[in-house]
């Protein structure tokens, strides 16, 4: 391929109607193009052509019966993207927006992120267009059992190890793990994010948010700055928002917003630990209204159908969903004095949004910032293999060490004069590791 444009034309022709997948591939290809072409063995081995093709993508019917006795049909997926450095690893997303394009973008990014963690994990992602909103506990269980009745044959502790993601938390993992164990008659570490009494790792619930803030500490420290006293705007109100706020409170920062698809909440007083724990209740209600926060804490204000990126803040932390922050949002953030944008959601910024964020402020992409989640999943796999549980402190220390090493890798591969291009750094470091493993293993 002579040019990035020619390569992308090929990707688009082979994967029509998959805009999120094209977006994720384009971002990687444009940042690794020069490093890749400096390596003739990789070019001859057609690593780039091979790496954009998932090893396997499974889609299946998920029939289940709702509380009214009516049959419902959803579609389940598992995209097993790349196993060059370990078993496929990545979460399951239950959200009505789920389709093959979204799961291919997530699986594609997952392989590079997992490589960055330093742990032996390949990349995969799965899920369903099932909408958990408003569903009863029994309906959730029946759906999870039906989903697992097909998925079980494609996964295993040395083959593919799923976990949660949007719409899939501890409860859903419990139901899926229970059904898997019943079918295969084995108690194995086939899932991560398990309950602490049945093989889960301490700190896994906190890991994505904590890891993101550890990464932010390193970014700020390079600029002789810290989170202390900073005002932070966050999106989402799920697992990742909760973990990020917990750590930010500990560091003396003031978190003022959360959001849902219905709008955002501004709490001028800032979150304390009690308010942060209330997010868990809101999420567990399956009601998914950020507005519920205002019912409990009436001093806070709710802004319907608006994103939080127009508020005055020093730091923005994206914790909801792909493309939640576009170029206009970044402009507003910059105008309001935002100095750091942490993308914790996967591909939280649009392509031009991410480019502008890199120009205007400190910016790091999801695959580096949110890698703490899958890293502690990798540590959960190790603990399961050892049949031992580590203390919270041990896991947290390993998480800190891993986030430092990802930051170091970004600095090493993303240095542009005095500035760090974290997008380039993360992509080059992750890509080169997977690519060289693929070269070693021949044409497979
Ligand atoms: P949760 O399901 O716990 O929470 C996601 C929250 O974001 C929900 O409240 C959801 O509401 C809300 N949301 C969805 N769309 C929007 C929107 N357009 N605007 C505002 N809020 C919205 O998921 P997680 O916290 O686990 O995941 C959040 C993000 O972090 C995802 O992008 C995920 O891929 C990423 N991530 C998660 C990791 C983890 O360990 N959990 C690891 C690495 C990345 P609703 O359901 O109503 O849409
Ligand atoms: O633990 C995991 O494998 C997992 C779960 C949810 C999201 C992610 C991610 O890295 O995006 C990983």
Q: Which residues contact 47 (CB under 8 A, 6 or more apart)?
A: 36, 435, 438, 439
Query: In terms of C-beta density within 10 A (0-12 exposed, 13-18 middle, 19 or more buried), how is residue 221 classed?
Result: exposed
Domain assignment present for residue 420? The answer is: no
Identify whether residues 360 and 220 lie together within a single domain. yes
Identify whether residues 229 and 137 lie together within a single domain. no
Among residues 187, 214, 233, the one where a domain terminates is: 187
To test the pocket of ligand 1, the residue of 130, 238, 282, 329 to mutate (highest count of ligand atoms within 8 Å of its CB) is 238
Distance of alpha carbon 306 from alpha carbon 426, whole angstroms: 31
How far is ligand 2, taken at its centre, from the CA of residue 114, in Å?
A: 9
Q: Which residues are catalytic, by number?
A: 125
141-to-22, 94, 156, 185, 217 alpha-carbon distances in Å: 34, 13, 21, 19, 40
Identify whether residues 326 and 361 lie together within a single domain. yes
Q: What is the pLDDT of residue 406?
A: 98
In tens, the pLDDT along 292-305 reads: 899 999 999 999 99
Please give the average per-residue pLDDT across 264-285, as a whole number.
92
Identify whether residues 89 and 165 lie together within a single domain. yes
- CATH number, domain of 167, equals 3.40.50.10860
Q: Which residues contact 415 (CB under 8 A, 6 or more apart)?
A: 421, 425
- Looking at ligand 1, which residue's alpha carbon is closest to its atom 33? 345
Identify whether residues 256 and 312 lie together within a single domain. yes
Domain assignment present for residue 193? The answer is: no
Identify whether residues 135 and 279 lie together within a single domain. no
Looking at all shown ligands, the one closest to residue 369's CA atom is: 1
Distance of alpha carbon 267 from alpha carbon 257, whole angstroms: 6
Q: Which atom of ligand 2 is nearest to the CA of 377?
A: 1
pTM: 0.97
To which residue do tokens 């608006």 refer?
Answer: 306
Q: What is the pLDDT of residue 2?
A: 86
Domain assignment present for residue 47? The answer is: no
Distance of alpha carbon 142 from alpha carbon 64, whole angstroms: 6
Q: What is the pLDDT of residue 239?
A: 94
% of the chain beyond a pLDDT of 90: 96
Is it the case that residue 4 has pLDDT exceeding 90?
yes
Q: What is the pLDDT of residue 281?
A: 87
Among residues 317, 349, 369, the one where a domain terminates is: 369
Please give the average per-residue pLDDT across 360-380, as a whole number.
98
Domain assignment present for residue 45? The answer is: no
To test the pocket of ligand 2, the residue of 95, 109, 164 to mutate (highest count of ligand atoms within 8 Å of its CB) is 164
Locate all alpha helices (DSSP H) within 361-421, ordered by sequence. Answer: 366-369, 371-386, 392-414
Domain assignment present for residue 41? The answer is: no
Domain assignment present for residue 81? The answer is: yes
- From the list 205, 137, 141, the residue with the least C-alpha distance to 176 is 141
- Looking at ligand 1, which residue's alpha carbon is closest to its atom 40? 373
- From the list 398, 397, 337, 403, the residue with the least C-alpha distance to 370 is 403
Q: Which atom of ligand 1 is nearest to the CA of 282?
A: 9
Q: Which atom of ligand 1 is nearest to the CA of 377?
A: 40
Domain assignment present for residue 436? The answer is: no
Distance of alpha carbon 86 from alpha carbon 119, whole angstroms: 8
- Using CA atoms of 203, 209, 215, 220 in order, give the dihedral in degrees to the nearest 10: -130
Identify whether residues 77 and 169 lie together within a single domain. yes
The residues with which 82 forms a beta bridge, in sequence order, are 123
Q: Which two tokens stand for residue 194?
A: 């398990």
Identify whether residues 158 and 114 lie together within a single domain. yes
209-to-21, 172, 246, 376, 389 alpha-carbon distances in Å: 25, 20, 8, 12, 21
Identify whether residues 72 and 153 lie together within a single domain. yes
How far is ligand 1, taken at its centre, from the CA of residue 129, in Å?
A: 15
Q: What are the phi and psi torsion angles at 77 (to 5°)?
A: -145, 150
Domain assignment present for residue 43? The answer is: no
Identify whether residues 245 and 339 lie together within a single domain. yes
- From the list 316, 363, 323, 373, the residue with the least C-alpha distance to 346 is 323
Pocket of ligand 2 from Cβ distances under 6 Å: 89-91, 110, 113, 163-165, 192-193, 346, 370, 373-374, 377
Evaluated on CA atoms 430, 435, 440, 443, the torsion sign reads: positive
Identify whether residues 361 and 225 lie together within a single domain. yes
The CB density around residue 178, as the number of other CB atoms within 10 Å, is 15
The DSSP result for 89-137, as a single string, is E--EEE-TT--HHHHHHHHHHHHHHHHHTTS---EEEEEES---TT--H
For the chain, the domain total comes to 2
Question: Is 57 strand, coil or helix?
Answer: strand
Looking at all shown ligands, the one closest to residue 347's CA atom is: 1
Distance of alpha carbon 235 from alpha carbon 341, whole angstroms: 12
- Looking at ligand 2, which residue's alpha carbon is closest to its atom 4? 91
Give the pLDDT band (50/70/90) at residue 415. very high
- Looking at ligand 2, which residue's alpha carbon is closest to its atom 3? 90
Q: What is the pLDDT of residue 284?
A: 80
Identify whether residues 216 and 361 lie together within a single domain. yes
* Domain extent at residue 105: 54-187
Mean per-residue pLDDT of the chain? 97
In tens, the pLDDT along 192-243 reads: 999 999 999 999 999 999 999 999 999 999 999 999 999 999 999 999 999 9
CB 341 within 8 A of CB 316: yes
In tens, the pLDDT along 161-203 reads: 999 999 999 999 999 999 999 999 999 999 999 999 999 999 9
Give the pLDDT band (50/70/90) at residue 5. very high
Looking at all shown ligands, the one closest to residue 166's CA atom is: 1
Among residues 135, 155, 187, the one where a domain terminates is: 187
Q: Which two tokens stand for residue 64?
A: 């289940």
- CATH number, domain of 267, equals 3.40.50.720
Please give the average per-residue pLDDT across 289-316, as a whole number.
95
- From the list 285, 305, 304, 306, the residue with the least C-alpha distance to 296 is 285
Give the pLDDT band (50/70/90) at residue 291. confident
């Amino acid at each position: 391929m002579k040019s990035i444009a020619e390569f992308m034309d090929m990707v688009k022709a082979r994967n029509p109607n998959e805009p999120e997948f094209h977006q994720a591939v384009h971002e990687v290809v444009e940042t690794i193009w020069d490093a890749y072409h400096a390596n003739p063995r990789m070019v001859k081995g057609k690593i780039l052509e091979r790496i954009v093709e998932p090893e396997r993508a499974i889609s299946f019917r998920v029939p289940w019966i709702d509380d009214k006795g009516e049959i419902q049909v959803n579609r389940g997926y598992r995209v097993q993207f790349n196993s060059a450095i370990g078993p496929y690893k990545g979460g399951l997303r239950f959200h009505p927006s789920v389709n093959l394009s979204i799961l291919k973008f997530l699986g594609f990014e997952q392989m590079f992120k997992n490589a960055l963690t330093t742990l032996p994990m390949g990349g995969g992602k799965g899920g369903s267009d099932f909408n958990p909103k408003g569903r009863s506990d029994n309906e959730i269980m029946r759906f999870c059992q039906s989903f697992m009745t097909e998925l079980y044959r494609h996964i295993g502790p040395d083959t593919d190890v799923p976990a949660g993601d949007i719409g899939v938390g501890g409860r859903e993992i419990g139901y899926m793990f229970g059904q898997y164990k019943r079918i295969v008659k084995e108690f194995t570490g086939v899932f991560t994010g398990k309950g602490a009494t049945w093989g889960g790792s301490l700190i896994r619930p906190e890991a994505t948010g904590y890891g993101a803030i550890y990464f932010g500490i390193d970014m700020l420290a390079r600029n002789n700055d810290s989170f202390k006293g900073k005002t932070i705007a966050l999106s989402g109100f799920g697992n990742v928002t909760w973990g990020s706020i917990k750590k930010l409170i500990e560091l003396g920062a003031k978190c003022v917003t959360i959001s849902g698809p219905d709008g955002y909440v501004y709490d001028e007083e800032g979150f304390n630990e009690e308010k942060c724990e209330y997010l868990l209740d809101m999420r567990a209600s399956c009601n998914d209204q950020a507005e519920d926060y205002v019912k409990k804490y009436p001093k806070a204000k709710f802004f319907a159908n608006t994103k939080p990126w127009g508020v005055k803040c020093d730091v923005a932390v994206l914790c909801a969903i792909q493309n939640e922050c576009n170029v206009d949002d970044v402009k507003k953030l910059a105008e309001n004095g935002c100095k750091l944008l942490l993308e914790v959601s996967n591909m939280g910024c649009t392509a031009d949004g991410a480019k502008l964020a890199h120009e205007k402020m400190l910016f790091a992409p999801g695959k580096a910032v949110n890698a703490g989640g899958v890293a502690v999943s990798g540590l959960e796999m190790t603990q399961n293999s050892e049949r031992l549980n580590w203390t919270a402190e041990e896991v947290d220390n390993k998480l800190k060490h891993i986030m430092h090493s990802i930051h170091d890798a970004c600095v090493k591969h993303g240095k542009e004069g005095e500035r760090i291009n974290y997008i380039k750094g993360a992509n080059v470091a992750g890509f080169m590791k997977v690519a060289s493993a693929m070269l070693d293993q021949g044409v497979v």
